[in-house]
Amino acid sequence: MAPPSKARIDPGAPTGAQAEWPQSTAQGFRLVFDSGEHQTRAALACLCNHMQACGLDSEVMSTVELVVAEVFNNITEHAYPGVNGPILLQVQFEPDSVVCMFTDSGAPFARGAPPDGKLIPPLALPEGGFGWYIIRALSSDLDYERSGSTNRLRLRIRV
């Protein structure tokens, strides 16, 4: 995938106490917003608008949106249970992949690492439960770091 040639800033950036207008270029995208259902939807729309403006293939866009939505959902439900908190999304377009970095100051993973994402029989799962399987199946080079009170998750989506 060649880097997109043109990008524009999306006026539909999410709102909230910590929201910033997206900073975007043809090579990447940066957005800070508060966690929460409505803010997450707005952030995903903003990301999709940017990817479309950059000319990414619709299949690649769908995969990136799905993986990012699953990570946002996990941050909202587990890092910030019952409260909203800031999420930083950084996306870098590379010739053969899309690299996503998520940063938050919520609770760390329970075991100090993301779940392994093994597929469990559906009847044994709580509501949802497929998120980490989906994330791991559609991405590679997943790396998690807890530094002080900050979580950083980096992953690559091949195109």
The CATH number covering residue 144 comes to 3.30.565.10
Cβ atoms of 43 and 108 within 8 Å: the answer is: no
Tell whether 122 is covered by a domain: yes
pLDDT at position 21 is 46
3-state secondary structure of 25: strand
Conformation bin of residue 50: beta by default, left when phi > 0, alpha when psi is -120 to 50: alpha
Span 119-141, average pLDDT: 76
Check if the beta carbon of residue 93 is closer than 8 Å to that of residue 3.
yes
Does residue 6 lie within any of the structural domains? no
In a domain, 125, yes or no: yes
How many separate domains does the chain show? Answer: 1
Residue 8 falls within a domain, yes or no?
no
Residue 65 lies in a domain: yes
Residue 46 has pLDDT above 80, yes or no: yes
In a domain, 17, yes or no: no
Domain assignment of residue 50, given as a range: 23-158
| Domain assignment of residue 10, yes or no | no
pLDDT for the residue numbered 15: 45
The whole-angstrom separation of Cα 138 and Cα 127 is 21
Could you tell me the pTM of the whole model? 0.81
pLDDT exceeds 60 at position 41:
yes
The reply to whether 140 falls in a domain is yes
- Residue 78 and residue 25: Cα distance in Å, rounded? 31
